[in-house]
Structure 1
Amino acid sequence: MSAKRPSSPENVSRVYTVSQAERLRDLCGPHHRNLALLETRLKQHGLRAESQGGGIRLDGTEEGVSIAEAALAEFERRLRNGSEPTEMELDGALQAALSPSQSFNALKGLRKPVTAMTRGQARYIELLSQPDNALVFGVGPAGTGKTFLAVATGVAELQAGLRQRLIVTRPAVEAGEKLGFLPGTLEEKVDPYMLPIWDSLRELMGQEQMERRMLRGEIEVAPIAFMRGRTLKNAFVIVDEAQNTTVAQMKMVLTRLGRDSRMVVTGDPDQVDLPGSQASGLKHALKILDHVEGIVTHRLTAADVVRHGLVSRIIDAYAAAGES
């Protein structure tokens, strides 16, 4: 690891003890990469972290060492609950340590627990987990987890028996939703536009269970056009890529909500792909439904974008080279 930092009156040194050698390896990461990430994130506190005996020695300011201890404790808790020992998970643990007043609860009942990586995600999960929130708008840029966390909540409610069905719908703008003009079966026509949803479902519940529940009609993934004329009862409904719905489509799908159902609408109002000058149904709904009782809106930002650790290092390298 890094060279030892010269001691000073302002600095402290403590050892974070880890009882299991395997857990210590997971906390440190390959080639101590996780410790290097911790140092980078807390460099303003002069933090140095190195594996030492049965623990991790932390040197730096009192505040920096305390934050590092809290982050390692949260990271270790996540690992015990089944999370992977990745840099992204450590970043999420650090966010939790930096936000002690914000609850970072995990969504359970899934193939692996899903825990927030940012403060914005933590608040989003809180809102999604409250059954009284019958309609939740989750908006923000790509990479913030707005759709994945919505799907994870829907899967968790399905697994727990709180809902009988999970329905995910999104506009197929590229095909103008005139899917009848495309070759192949309905599944073949729909799949290119629904692939991100299938990927999320496979990750959250596994291929076998996903297929079994689909065959029983408990999971449905379809374009918005297929929602017309229906009442969606006892279901967890997700409207994805909602910025590409028209005003009429948005009104239609919102009014499909039936008894004992919940709906989550996700999208990025700044990335509308509708042809011509058509108004975005998401933008319109956010404006007119702002103060309607039972509807909540959560806005994720660029600060909630979760990237692979390598991407962060690539961005840092370009920044160091003076390139945007």
Structure 2
Amino acid sequence: MSAKRPPAGTATSDTVSRVYQVSQAERLRDLCGPHHRHLALLETRLKLYNLRAESQGGGIRLDGMEEGVSVAEAALADFERRLRSGAEPTEMELDGALQAAQSPAQNFTGLKGLRKPVTAMTRGQAKYIELLTNADNALIFGVGPAGTGKTFLAVATGVAELQAGIRQRLIVTRPAVEAGEKLGFLPGTLEEKVDPYMLPIWDSLRELMGQEQMERRMSRGEIEVAPIAFMRGRTLKNAFVIVDEAQNTTVAQMKMVLTRLGRDSRMVVTGDPGQVDLPGSQTSGLKHALRILEHVEGIAAHHLTAADVVRHGLVSRIIDAYAAAGES
């Protein structure tokens, strides 16, 4: 027979027990997650505090060490706030709320004015959004591995500024290095040939503003997604410019695109210096720029890491299962 737990609100020498109150049954279901997966995630993330979480009547009962229970309460409160703002009740959102709860001194500011709210999921993302939303930063480098949100958050910031009327245009460009000599063998115009390399950008725009608004703004010339070769000879005024996959620019291409920045414009350069696809031994324009522009006034750089990779909740459970089996 299992030991009887103390009444909620009481404490032993090792643990405290409190109930996080939730007034609406539907909201309680969202907080707990399907099959109480969110509560299981709380227990996993806060296992050092011996946290136990279970649905109880009109709330969630939390047992464990004082610090762990307090973090869980703060995470649930932030998770609930995100849900009220329109966020989806996902494990990724709960993970973001947990990161915020464990970093109370850091501002996990969200981006507003979008089709759905966008909030930092990690401490690194929170710092990145701070830099992106600071208008004093005319040029920002956002670098890190795939899955850290470096491009999505840049696009979200650009969409927010466009819809708020702060910028007149949103321009996203990236090199089509993978196409190489194969472009000539693909059917259609040059724009149609490189379009497959722009799909990640189109997907982000659809998610952030919806298909109809995206097409409407494109038809008015307010949104442009094009390969980096299309930037040559232009001056990009009153625009939010994003240079994506910048690790695959040459030094000459990087200098060219950086000097396109015009009056009342901002630029974000994103990429992963560890994934350079340039042929031969060409120097990555991103690596070169990060080195020579490090101390230039008005330029900010932020390095996201593997700790900022936002994965589907299932991935975490797969990793935990392999770890439990003693396999790498």
TM-score greater than 0.5 by the shorter chain: yes
Residue 51 of structure 1 corresponds to 55
Does residue 18 in structure 1 map to residue 34 in structure 2? no
In 2, Cα distance between equivalents of 1:5 and 1:94: 25
Does structure 2 conserve the Cα–Cα contact (< 8 Å) formed by 1:36 and 1:49? Answer: yes
Does structure 2 conserve the Cα–Cα contact (< 8 Å) formed by 1:171 and 1:177? Answer: no
In 2, Cα distance between equivalents of 1:162 and 1:186: 31
Does structure 1 conserve the Cα–Cα contact (< 8 Å) formed by 2:237 and 2:262? Answer: yes
Does residue 237 in structure 1 map to residue 245 in structure 2? no
| 1:319 counterpart letter in structure 2 | A
Does structure 1 conserve the Cα–Cα contact (< 8 Å) formed by 2:21 and 2:60? Answer: yes
Change (3 A) 1:3 1:117: farther
Decide which of 186, 196, 206 is 1:182's aligned counterpart: 186
How many residues in Structure 1 have an aligned counterpart in Structure 2?
Answer: 323
| 1:299 counterpart letter in structure 2 | H
Does structure 1 conserve the Cα–Cα contact (< 8 Å) formed by 2:179 and 2:194? Answer: no
Superposed counterparts of 1:1-324, under 5 Å: 8-176=12-180, 179=183, 182-324=186-328
| 1:68 counterpart letter in structure 2 | A
In 1, Cα distance between equivalents of 2:3 and 2:46: 16
Change (3 A) 1:3 1:317: farther
User: Offset of 1:176 from its aligned partner?
Assistant: 2.5
User: Offset of 1:320 from its aligned partner?
Assistant: 1.9
Does structure 2 conserve the Cα–Cα contact (< 8 Å) formed by 1:5 and 1:59? Answer: no
Listed as ranges, the gaps of 5+ residues in structure 1 are none
TM-score (norm 1): 0.97
3-state SS, counterpart of residue 25 of structure 1 = helix
3-state SS, counterpart of residue 178 of structure 2 = helix
Identity within the alignment, %: 89
Does structure 1 conserve the Cα–Cα contact (< 8 Å) formed by 2:110 and 2:120? Answer: yes
Listed as ranges, the gaps of 5+ residues in structure 2 are none
Report Cα offsets for 1:3-47 as digits up to 9, x if no partner.
976874120000000111111110000111100100000001000
In 2, Cα distance between equivalents of 1:4 and 1:67: 24
Report Cα offsets for 1:82-136 as digits up to 9, x if no partner.
0000000000000000000000011010000100000000000000001110000
In 2, Cα distance between equivalents of 1:110 and 1:254: 27
Does structure 1 conserve the Cα–Cα contact (< 8 Å) formed by 2:148 and 2:310? Answer: yes
User: Offset of 1:202 from its aligned partner?
Assistant: 0.4
Report Cα offsets for 1:263-312 as digits up to 9, x if no partner.
00000111101000000000000000000000000000000000000011
